[in-house]
Structure 1
Amino acid sequence: MATAPPTALAGGNAGSASCSAHSGCSALGLTGDCCPSLSGKDLACCDEPAQENAAPQVQTLADLGAAAGDAVDTSVAAWHPDNSWWKTEPPQSDETSCLMEHRFGCDVIAHHLTCLGSRDGRAEATIDGLKIRGQPCVWCGGVPCTSGSLALCQPLDYAMNGQGVAFHTFYPKATYQVAICVNGHPLPAQTIFRHPPLPPLPTLPTLAPWWAPDRPTEAQLTCLVEEPTGCSAIKDMGTCLSSRDGRPQAEYKGLKIHGEPCVWCAGISCTSNSSSRCEPFDYVMHGEGSAFGLFLAKSSFAIANCDGNRTFASLPDDYDTSCLEAVSDGCGSARDAQSCLSMRDDRDKETVVGLKLKGQPCAWCGGFHCTSENSNLCEPYDFIANGLGRAFSHKDYHGYTYRVAGCKNGRPAAISVLPTESGGLASSYPDVTMGLYPKLGAPAALVPFWVAVKPSNKSMQCLQPAPGGCRSLTTMESCMTGRDASGVKSWKGLKIDGEPCVWCGGGHCTSNSSSLCDPFDFAMYGEGAAYKTFIAKGIYKVADCQKPHVQLPQYSYSCLHKTGPGGCSSIWDAQTCLRSKDGSRVERVGMLEVHGQPCVWCGGTACHSGKNALCEAFDFALNGESTAFMTFFASDTFRLAACKSGKPTPATLKGFDSFVPGWSALPRIPMFNHSWYKTPAPTGNELTCLMDHWYGCDKVGHEDTCLGSKDAQPQALFGPGIQIEGSPCAWCGGGPCISGSTALCQPFSLLMQGEGTNFTTFFAKNHYQVARCKNGKPLPPMPTKTSPQIVYVPVSGSLASPPQGPTLERPLVLPPVGGATADVAVPPAGDDIGSSPDLVPLSAEPPGLPPLAPLPGAAPVPAYPVADAAHPVATVAPVAMAAPVTPGAMAALATTAAPSQPLGASEDSDRGISALTLPPVATIAPLNLGTIIPGVVAGASEDSDSGSGA
């Protein structure tokens, strides 16, 4: 194995003219200043490989080769049987001596320079009989090498001979490159395009008539009727496409006649020798030039068949036509929309050309002629929906303009019926019907589109009788759970008694009265008869027993306490609401359960539009929209009272949640350990199994490679600062490790010592993993999670005690630790590195600590006022707190400049800056506590509400 990594491209030395002129410079995307200037421009190609994990540059030819791989295989196979035109022979041993032995294998490499400078070093000699260990790597041009894998690099024998053995297809046959040594150095990336020898020209086949389709099978012709006079005698499309030739003549000039399905020639003459518009299949398809001169309908004919595979637009079996008038003259007799959409066809003729007539609801064609065959404006539904190409050649109306007669609440209505992508039908009540012009001031002849479907009797069983009638109800809750029981059967032909009530959105229902609630039939059909206008067309709601199906989650609720007679809605604070269940005397409101339901806290705002309650019973709150009230406001902010480990704990529908919107608690001062994320570096035997990675940890984009390697770049490249050479690699959880770089893996020493000096921020503080050995092998990837260690120190003085009774769990509060210093956090006993802090209830009182020393230059912080029954301390909302610093740390940071020692190429190295030096820290923004507690003076930050400085 080579003793040092390559430092220059093959064919040139660092700083030489040949290096600068090397064709691989721009393709490699390298950076550095070792090459001489040329025409005033720096050519970057010599000293620093690009990141192994960066997205490789994909050449146009590589794309072409990958996309063309399968097509080339298929076309070449017929004239190049062994299909080996693209394969490369294994290189000689001296041609691989300069390659790095990559312990984790070629297939984990994602960068062309590493791939073209490595050979496979895995322990397996073969896989599926294909050589692996020692094989030079193959770079696949920036695309996946094989089917079934996303690897961009593979060992040579596996790539060349694995097709059909280990995988289906090797894609980049035309563009791949094999790692090989030239003059002791890896050959850089080249632009390669292979192609097979040109194929011999094929023999052109004899062409059949392009217009002649396959003849339908006999199974597709069983429904056709034999026409004794022959197809040529038929004059209309419907008869032609439902017939076969019944003449006794078997054939004519070798062309079949008897039994052939008829062919309709789109209303024109089929041949140049006859005016017939219908002819037998074999005669017309194959007789050109022998039986007649020309076939004239090559692109517009239709063949008679039973259409077994055809999808018909059929109305559902339960389509309601009971309210429609049966017309013996048929739908075609109607000349206006109102008549057409109130009728169904009642002619004696059941079908025509296999299309239903009798009993079909009429379809209005929007005021246009329905078909090319006649001037009818109205036709039976099955005829107009499925007759194209069978009964008529084209339709003169647009599909979105026709309407079908149907019933809505037992009255005629216009219905839009259109096919869906899945092959079914979608019906709706359209707001516009072309050609339908209702008379102003008169009752509508057809049910208006805005009229709701009336609830069934089953859906009204739960409604409460309203002895004074629906008009006596003035609240949404009473109207939406009621039905008229006034005893008035009808008025002006409109039903009153027994009708479900209609809530008109809180406004007047009609232009003739001030009622907020009306009976259904009166409200829906009284316009123009009992009153001038129904005002609430877009906002009304109809009472029924249906409700949303938001189910109560399967939590325990045994620890909850019943409320007083006022129920959940009488509670005004989150802590009481979230430990209670409804104890009111109201069992239910309509279909909504109330008594015994756990309470729901609505985030500190009104739960719904009905009243200003902040807390409601679960079923009433979650399922009451459009039934007991118009709108539920807290769909994204509510919390449910539930029990966890026998204690009241806030929850959502998906699980327990420590965050409670609109709930306040007294803050405590956090003290932060700034080194919480740092772990001891591996030493001794913990490093012996790691691979020396010549190109550095920051070039690795593969987790196993990172956790099995240490940085082997010479320390001379980085200077005497942070020790990089020999440092184990650290994997940053699949995301960038530091600011200014997209590398997923970095030297451990750089991450622990470089923040603020060589880069601004270490992003992966709570989820990185360091490469280390155990029992002679690299530790595998493991889930890691550490948390900042914080000690919450209470402000001096007594805190107000919470109300008595069960308390809420707050999983994000750490137990206070007495005697902890400002800069060192003490985790709870038994906590391992990476574990989350123990959970404690809010009721745990922190021990008293001496008051904090005043900040330099600021007045002392007064203590909290002592709470008693007469002077309770006000509660404030908890706020998100940035990591604070102690007074001593602030002073140190304010007077100490960051070290300026460079570490190789800094995060700005791609802009030519050799090192990043931070200016002295002038100020640290103090902790923003959000809401200020009365009686407590905190340093006002520069971004505080008042705008004043600290």
Structure 2
Amino acid sequence: MTRLAWHHVFATLLFAGSAYMMEDATTACLMWQGDGCESITDETLCVHSRDGMAHDFFGSVRLGKACGWHKRGICERVDEWMRKREDPGDYKVATCKDGETINTTIAAVQPPASTETHSTPGARAHMPWGAVKLQPMDGGSNRACRGVTQGQTGFVSRQYNLWTAQTLDDCKALCTGPCTGIEFQASKKYCETWFGDILFSTKSDGFECYVKENIDQASKLAMIRPQDDSCLREEIRGCGALQDRYSCLSSKDGSDTTDIYGLKVKGEPCIWCGGTACRTGSANKCEPFDFLMRGMGKEHGFDSFTAVGSFETPTCEAGKSTVFDEAAQMVFGNVDCLKKQAEGCGAIKDRSTCLSSVDGRQFPGLKVENQPCVWCGGAPCNTDNDNLCEPYGFALNDKSGAFHTYFSAACEAGQPVEESISTAMARQGSVKVVNCGLPNPTWLGVSKNCGFCKVQVADQAAESYLSCNAYCQAQGGLQCAKAFKGFMSSCDVGPEITCDAAFEKNSYPVCECSPATVKDNGPNVMMATHLPRPAEEKLACLDVVAEGCGSLKDQLKCLSSKDGSVADYRGLKIAGEPCVWCGGGSCSDNDENVLCAAYDFLANGQGLAFTSRQAITVMDVAHCKEPRTSFGNVDCLNRVSEGCGSLQDKDTCLASVDGSPYKQLAGLKVEGQPCVWCGGGPCSEHGNLCEPHEFVVHGVGHAFNTGTSIYTTAACEAGKPVQHEMPSSMANYGANVAVDCGIPNPIWYKVGKVCGFCKVQVAKMALPVYKNCTGYCKAQGLTCSKAFKGYLHSCDVESPLGCDEAFGTETAPLCQCSPALIKAIYTAFGWPNSSVLH
């Protein structure tokens, strides 16, 4: 092939390769082929197509490159035949003529994504998976898809393949198997089939975004969604207008707003958020179900569902509205002595009549009839009317528990009596959803919810269960963790008691139960086995991160740290736990933005704090590695306060030691380590050309994943910096070399470095063999003269050592042997006479 021909090929490739970045005239009319050029079997389709596959199996970019038809009857990308150095004349290359557009091409050739041509030659050859069920993202219309952040278009990270599709349905049909969603632009017949997560969308005229239906989320919501809402009244102002509990929990949204960018509103049952704001960005205490349950994190939704642990959902029972946590709440005892007020408690204006009556109304949708009337201390019971007396449920609505001025009607010995509301609540209790791991169980006999797995037990329940052991056991077989005496209608605790201590009368007990045991489940046992927690002594060097491991986004910082935030979470230890790096991905589905997490949370939290976690094979846990002094004298080297990693040239690197302000990095000793030069290339994927000795030698697979083997390290000899390759096989294993030690020069064994007349550094691997310098010199047929402690790779002397003194942990001893006694040899055999010498 001529040089001119290759220049033509290169120019064609260059333009084709940039087609997806800008609509070049040579490729703008070509159809996108999301399965790649090689999947096309028809010549006509091939020479009208460009590659729409994001990248190949090796990660090489291929998107936008024109297809070419080879005379052998195959379709390939232009860079493929350039790589093979084949003759361009054997290819017919896809290109555009002046004035041609995508519509011109479609008029002549059916697109590969057409629903009419899936079985025709040259069309998409196969669909190995079933079609994915899609739903509009934030309404779908005029929305462009975005990935795991609102700014991730998916282009740079290659999250999608590109197709040409004539209609939205054609584009949807291409979303199969692992496809997570599609983006379609009708004007350009442009279709993206995504394989990365689509968590956001943004406003973009002319685009449509659809995502795979979240079946897991849908099944979870179906469990708490009201099964029967026929008794709920329509609130024409919308759920958000309702300010009290009973109005909210007897209603569904009847406003004119059908949906908010795909989040259903009209017809949705209203959710009560415990008297506080349901979400960020709004003060509404009541919201429609679908909007509240699926709106978190959406651009047109809200950032946080703040009432996630305190919301209540309505349902209907026997044609009347009830609440999940009120199934056993309205236990008023005997009310037979009370007079029924046909007009309802709200019509009563005096205390005496109020506290001798029950409500006689059959209020549509509400469980009101036969509830005892409550006197609200002479002030209005609620903010939406002036009623001084209300039925029990109405009066308690939207109140947090300070009922010392509220009194309820009751009967005792056949006569009306007054009872404070706080006393009634403490006595009767209710059925409540208590936050105690996944799933959150429903607990019985709760007077007050006091936090994670912790409640005040109602008086009636205390009479039944007798102790916190028995009470926790009744809540799904849980174990008691702690028990306290308490105060009426309060989460304040008095003296701690044992879990099996019998409840005393009027002790208002507070029981804290242990969450369901999940440490012994398969996934948690597997993590503890394959990634065990380091011993405490291996954590001493780690930096304490006050914001917690979850705040760290960098591998080295994560593997240099332990958590210093909260003591525990849902019974899982947090503070003091070593951080775990999750390979650069989300550690669990508890929070997809957390890349680093506390060990106990991650190792034992599946089924308690989250439902799934990252693969164990990509995780690593922070720990201290024992520094191994395998380098020489560094006294002459310059101390670099910015650290070895800041150095960019070999000579400076190999004349320096690390003087960083931090002692360790990913548990590896840094401070005081000689710098290592990595042959001019990066020492690891972190990109530094120079790194501390311990980090380079012992950090692979922990502090970094890839590295070089061309290492040179700094050391000192005779007070000056010297360079040597590492690991030095001679220093470690030794060599048999000639040593100047008289005539003739003998061959000495296991020499690490020759240091002068009859003097050597003994190789590391020989130390256990010879034990001391006496033994070493004897092996060379000599006797020991002097012995010294030294420095690896150096003849410098650190301190004297006795000839018979064991090498022990000394790694670089110097042995000086006495030369052979030649005079003694000649004396034994006779001194030669002058004739012999001449």
- Please report the TM-score for the alignment, with normalisation by the length of structure 2: 0.27
Which is higher, the Rg of structure 1 or of structure 2?
1
- Structure with a larger share of its residues in strand: 2
- Structure with a larger share of its residues in helix: 2
- Please report the TM-score for the alignment, with normalisation by the length of structure 1: 0.24
